[in-house]
Structure 1
């Protein structure tokens, strides 16, 4: 399409005023790799070239420091924009703004310290624009585009067919706000939020609030805190603290009129109203629900919880509580029965009294005696930590006592490390005792230390609990039940699942270690449509093999014990832009719910590769852009041969390697001829001519691919054992039929793995799309490719020749690298200098990484003549590899090499 002159003129003007711009296509996404333009600006010539490209339907402003601190407020809802205009300072209307093609609004400015993309305000919604129920009950209303983000500029085309229309000012002259002004806008937007907490987060807050309100029994059996809350409503407490009502469910913090409504009234688990303070300037903004007593502590007693309890007890006419012992958490030397040891009793100079640790307002606290003239006159609370303990597993100790294993919540809102005192590091024994006391995992960058600490805790300390720890997330058989363990939750029928993660997280926080999101039946059905359509987007047999392998990965711990404890790989080779990565990405999201486990092999050292995959879990990982030789094929074998030592973790055990159960798809251009590597998996190819259209890919990508993952994991966890065994036997039968009696057990294992996944899809998605015959044909395609070589696309050697042809056009003396042979039509290539030349130009994209591989490939290729010594037309002996140009396969563009050979021969 021809771009509007207004669009190009605006882009050039913005460029002159220090803005970084990138081209976008009809889906609003950049059609270039735009990361470089987050740190540098394109030239005006480049902008004009992009404008002339038919793929460009608009330009986008790259926000952040590269554009002088550009930041944009993005309003998806028109009414919320109107509210912002009414609530914001008058100068807000002077900022450049535009109406988006989708009906929203965007306001742009600069600030000295632009922030990353942020969500500021939400709106309550029961369903999305397509009528699909929203699990969280809300949609984003106001967000920002800052560092790491971009926004389309005026006159760009929206997918709806509308264009972005400028409303006030010009994006070419973005004004610079002060940090205070920018923060004022952000706070105003936050205060407009109508639903700061989604339904899922609300359930977590309600649970956390219930656990924080552990009853502290008074003399008459009634809790002072509960008694206070029963007598005072949250609205009265807010009013007493200076808050003012804004709507029936929203209040305004004290001391502001400009940005009302930042306090929301929400119900706790018992149905009582609590306040949630969304404004960052609010004293009570700490990520918790708050009841009337919380406000009483903060505003009337300066945050002193103990003083507030005593005052409330006096007002209520009840006796302040004595805190009972809390099992499993005590301080100081104790007798076997739990009472203070004699030395402690003498120091206190009082009758033995239980003085346990108790949780209060985001920390663990213990009552300490207050002495006057050597006598105790009062008790005062002393905060021991800035963290609280969220139990996730009940532990039974050998002595019959009970403890808990769980997560540390630091400062009342975020997960964090335990701070271990310096004295604890004086010896290994002291350290183990301290860690055992916390009952928490110790994080360190030294894996050897972790191994020793773990061994010491689990083997050397007699009084620690006998609980089952596993070194991988995912599916585990525990007490006859298959359960799933993830970073964020454990899916089990047990109230307290009898398993915990005991390893060292390689990639903490990765989405790959989180449980798949739950989906509606309609969303799962929509994802099933993507499964059916995937064979139309890439070479069909390859698509089905990838799907089958990825689905079977969810069942891996239930399958691999029947495959000789071997975990086969799926190798996917093919031409550039043939859809390898796209198909794998779709399969990855369909079966894991996320797309974070694709690992780019390009440029990785063997050690980096091993580290990345020793952190893989049993959900599925993908090694993309693999080139034989760039990473030694022996690295792949590490993840097949279960008795090897893993370099990444230092754990030398077959058990560890097998327990991780990490299925991996290896994708690359061309593939290895190494028999040992090929024998550990099955090989498939993709072809450019089979790749689907952009529209077809777009249609699939708009479907909720993530929705199938939770359903698939439910099947893996709940499929009865007899049904699982029946499906496994059917898969083995199909694999045997495909391999036709060839004595290759490892290939048969790989085919069984794929067949199992396809049989799951046959039962669960569409029988006609995955019939036994379709599955058998898919397996036979893999057998032919693996044993006979298949119909491979352009090989690494052929790609190298194309790259070499281009490089020779850039050098002043090509004769330093290649020379004609005595036979017309043949060219002598000097291996070392040619490999170095291609490496210098293409770097990590070079098709062949070293001269050894080039020689190996040349010796195996039919269009290279044998021998390393050849003569030139002048009779000079030359060491190199001699290639017959006419025999190079047509798919390899070798015309430039022929021109070089003819030109050199004529000289």
Structure 2
């Protein structure tokens, strides 16, 4: 399908969904001077859209935003960095929105609301090339506006592209959500005033004349604006902004003044400097230190700068003259430093001044493989609240970085200069000079440290060492989830009861399915020890079956047995790719269930991305090994359907649940009452403490069982998947019951998983059979089938014209087409026993030769749905019969 066809298809779908659309040209303006105001009231008809699409000047369509399009509204983001800043400010809210990349490289965030507003300008960015000195960064398109839609052509030659979400199903936001979104965008404004406004305000600033002006100029010369803001309690945030004292967002923007000095503009109405004017360092000093009394501020500034008493030197020199070098010291409620106290320019004593409201007690240095270093320790805030945190040692070099690092822990720093911070850092280094070195990792779960295995969780590390030498060094995707906490230890009796539940599960769902789920779940705890021997590939299990067949309930029981909780079940219905990534990344060694899976709802390529960890990943096994820890979790995909993607099928094994096999509700309730959680801690202890020799012997046994179950099937991915599963069942054989998990039962379970995959997972044949099924379906929707297939001389022989057949399947199935090009089709046909040799054959009746591949319908395996092809063959033969 051409891009123009895709464009019209999308426009018609949007129109059918209640949207009003207009045609636009390469300049994004309505074509032929179209008066489009009437389309703000009444949408164009589908016939009108089709007519517009035939106009060669139509290079795109635009949705008329506002009430006429079901309340559609959007944010138009044109400046780099603003989308990322908005996502950081409102991550959950932005994740709900549809996201379109414009042809010019900007972004549209799309949603609906009950009563759309007009077009609003929310944020600007500095732009010295612009007449106003600024350019629009974020604006809305609502009532009276329009937005160009996906597949439209931009003057750059690129097309608009919808990255997430759907134009036909925009999310509906509440008024509160829209208000939050707009406020977050306004807070990102980096240029609230035009160049002329800044100059005008600067020229009319109320300055006193004479000595006052000299003092103020001297103060500005020696005092950077950032230092003045920080001294007043403002905290730096990302993107060069500041947060007012007591505020929670970056409401202060720094501007370039006409004299080269920075100015600040204050947005928050709770900020005493929010008067619609820009301010310099002296304004901040006068407002916060002297209640707005400019004369008092001038006197204080003169004394501070030594202008009234030229002989007075700065604080550090004065202190040194009197034999006192300020030292940072700790009290219960924070760090202190002795400040010199002066009278008439002379130091007469020292006053303790608290420079922080926290005490940082480092316990470990974390040295990661890339050379960066963190400190892990206890942060005590105001002498009471204690938090175990990690702070990069690099942030101690400047106040801004430190404030950003500790601001998330609500620990405020009151120091006024970098020197104080340097002294705090120095005190820590001197006091803890012999801290041990530790290596940081980026995921939870099982990790190797030297010749031992240890486990790392959000709430601690499980190791022979106390404290452990290995610490987590990143931010979890799902902070606070129980999935990232160490399983709670149970008593021996509770672990024994959990073992009984494991055996009971075999009677609650189809037996082969129960074995597969248990084996896969148990192997998940050993995953980092198993996958290095399997090409660093992490397979998954497909679980299909009827509604109420028990598939999700069984998987949830396994989840609690493995994790100690059931918090990693994710509903797949309607998930965006972004939501899928969030749910399934950064969760190494933690079993996950993707429930209510529907083929095609989530691109099956996402499954491949997270689980194909072989040498294809970035071209090297080293890179794939590194990414295995960060981007993958053992995953069970449960749902009624089964993916049509042949490559995805080869990365996992498939098990079906039958409703007739489901146990009674009383039995489920009985199992659920048992302490399933107690087995998780026991299982993870086994994964950590099993000796290497025992582990390798079990892995070899699992490999032999897999080979026996698959016989001559050579597909390595299938071998890896079944070996992974068999390993877990062998653990249960030894730990739970040798009878319930015998070698014969394990082999039978592996055979069923392999036989459910087409041709046992042989990808070439799988793709070809998949292609024939897709072709049969596509042919059922066309009238001129003889353009694609022709009956051969002998019955049950059908000649496929390769290029037309491929194009037809591509048109119907797009990216899900089983075969992408003629070369692959030829390769598969030459190997398949149900295709005859040669590429030219005589059609029925001997009328003429036809170039194509001759398919023997009777030789197609029963597992492939070829009945429609037989019907077409019979119909076409009747047509060709004289």
Identify the TM-score tier after normalising by the shorter chain. 0.3 to 0.5
Q: TM-score, normalised by structure 1?
A: 0.44
Q: TM-score, normalised by structure 2?
A: 0.45
